């Protein structure tokens, strides 16, 4: 396999972007990444998108998006793994460059969620339709069950959950691209409306529009475009039973664990080497579970790690310095790419007020559904 690096990035602000369509969002992010990298052509494009078919009545995003940026002709494919679609787009771009088939590949993600579809209904298509969605359960309910199981097994508290929100909004307030640049107090989180017990409104990531793109190329070419490329040294993708009821333990996210193991193995790395991580906090409980499955904190200590400040900026291993899905926003197809952009900026020392000092190794973890798919990437300064 050829070594692979990222040499440019672009993203829209995340938020309720009423003035921008699906294709506008993609074009803004893609053109910014192309300009940032300074490339004059592309060999291939991957578009991570969960459900433009249901959100805005548009499938076939590969050619549409290539066309939209004036690159009709270029190979272009949509990839989908629900909320992990962006992470999977990065992985397929990585594999195409690693194979030697292409040099300049744009890995992108986009979602337009505010155009009128019933968002909760569309998102429920990421669960098992026959065993879950058809019975009426949606994602807040699924993650509430995960939260309850974690609380019972490990003593995780409602305050632990709230501290994830408080931390990520503290980080997001420092991020100009974030949907909600404001901080919350413990009282505000614990006083917010109950959505699915024990998850309150302020434990849930928002409905967002947005797009993000990164330019991936062989490491040997990367220095032609930037003096500070960031290597992708590991990529792992894994699945788990689709329906929560089919898993051995609802609090265990086996796909996250397996995807991390595969990424660490490819990178010849381990959790001890990670200095900054973007982790899939679609609900505050998922950051707690995922940091444990990734080996970044001890099993059962995910809540305490947040309480102690270990995973905050200034702590031992800052998690979701971008604000995470909770504060930065969660346009589902774009999230996995936006995570990679945060780590790229951290490893280049360009994260501004959110900078983790001297970070040279980082990780992203992007998850689909209630954890049925997960993709992990490990990055290193070149």
Of 45-53, 272-280, 311-319, 345-353, the segment contacting its own copies by CB under 8 A is: 45-53
Q: In angstroms, what is the minimal distance from the CB of 148 to its own copies?
A: 23
Quick check: 251 binds its own copies (CB under 8 A)? Answer: no
DSSP 8-class letter at 125: G
Quick check: 130 binds its own copies (CB under 8 A)? Answer: yes
Site string for its own copies, 195-224 (x = CB under 8 A): ------------------------------
The answer to whether 42 and 105 are in contact (CB under 8 A) is yes
Active site residues: 83, 330
Of 78-86, 135-143, 208-216, 357-365, the segment contacting its own copies by CB under 8 A is: 78-86
Q: Burial level of 189, CB count in 10 A (0-12/13-18/19+)?
A: buried
From CA 335, how far away is CA 211, in angstroms rounded?
Answer: 8
Going 332 to 105 to 343 to 238, the CA torsion angle's sign is positive
Residue closer to its own copies (CB basis): 1 or 186? 1
Quick check: 270 binds its own copies (CB under 8 A)? Answer: no
Contacting residue, 75, 153, 173, 190, with its own copies by CB under 8 A? 75
Listed residue (148, 175, 153) closest to 329, CA to CA:
175
Of 52-60, 144-152, 212-220, 334-342, the segment contacting its own copies by CB under 8 A is: 52-60
Quick check: 72 binds its own copies (CB under 8 A)? Answer: yes
Residues with Cβ < 8 Å from 202, sequence gap 6 or more? 162, 165, 184, 188, 189, 192
Listed residue (216, 196, 174, 225) closest to 346, CA to CA:
174
Listed residue (194, 192, 52, 67) closest to 125, CA to CA:
52
List the beta bridge partners of residue 10. 213
Using CB under 8 A as the criterion, which residues of the chain lie in contact with its own copies when the complex forms?
1, 21, 23, 44, 50-51, 53-54, 56-64, 66-67, 72-82, 88, 91-92, 95-96, 98-101, 122, 125-130, 133, 235-242, 246, 254-255, 258, 262, 266, 368-369, 372-373
């Amino acid at each position: 396999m050829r070594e692979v690096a990222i040499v440019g990035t672009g993203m829209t602000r995340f938020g309720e972007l009423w003035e921008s369509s699906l294709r506008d969002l993609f074009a803004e992010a893609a053109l910014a990444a192309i300009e940032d990298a300074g490339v004059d052509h592309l060999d291939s494009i991957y578009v991570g998108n969960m459900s433009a078919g249901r959100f805005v009545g548009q499938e076939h995003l590969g050619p549409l998006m290539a066309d939209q940026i004036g690159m009709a002709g270029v190979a272009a494919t949509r990839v989908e793994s629900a909320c992990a679609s962006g992470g999977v787009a990065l992985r397929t771009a990585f594999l195409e460059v690693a194979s030697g088939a292409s040099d300049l590949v744009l890995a992108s993600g986009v979602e337009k969620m505010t155009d009128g579809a019933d968002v909760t209904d569309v998102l429920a298509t990421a669960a098992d339709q026959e065993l879950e969605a058809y019975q009426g359960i949606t994602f807040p309910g699924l993650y509430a069950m995960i939260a309850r199981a974690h609380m019972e097994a490990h003593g995780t508290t409602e305050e632990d959950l709230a501290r994830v929100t408080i931390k990520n909004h503290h980080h997001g307030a420092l991020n100009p691209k974030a949907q909600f640049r404001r901080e919350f107090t413990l009282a505000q989180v614990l006083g917010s409306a109950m959505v699915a017990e024990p998850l309150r409104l302020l434990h849930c990531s928002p409905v967002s529009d947005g797009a993000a793109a990164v330019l991936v190329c062989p490491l040997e070419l990367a220095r032609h475009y930037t003096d500070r490329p960031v290597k992708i040294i590991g990529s792992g993708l894994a699945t788990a039973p689709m329906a929560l009821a089919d898993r051995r333990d609802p609090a265990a996210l086996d796909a996250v664990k397996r995807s991390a193991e595969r990424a660490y193995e490819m990178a010849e790395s381990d959790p001890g080497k990670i200095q900054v991580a973007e982790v899939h906090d679609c609900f505050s409980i998922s950051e707690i579970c995922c940091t444990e499955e990734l080996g970044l904190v001890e099993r059962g200590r995910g809540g305490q790690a947040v309480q102690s400040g270990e995973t905050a900026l200034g702590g031992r291993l800052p998690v979701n310095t971008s604000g995470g899905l909770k504060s930065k926003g969660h346009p589902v197809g774009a999230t996995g790419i936006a995570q990679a952009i945060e780590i790229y900026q951290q490893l280049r020392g360009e994260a501004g007020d959110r900078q983790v000092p001297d970070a040279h190794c980082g990780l992203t973890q992007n998850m689909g559904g209630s954890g049925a798919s997960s993709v992990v990437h490990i990055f290193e300064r070149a």
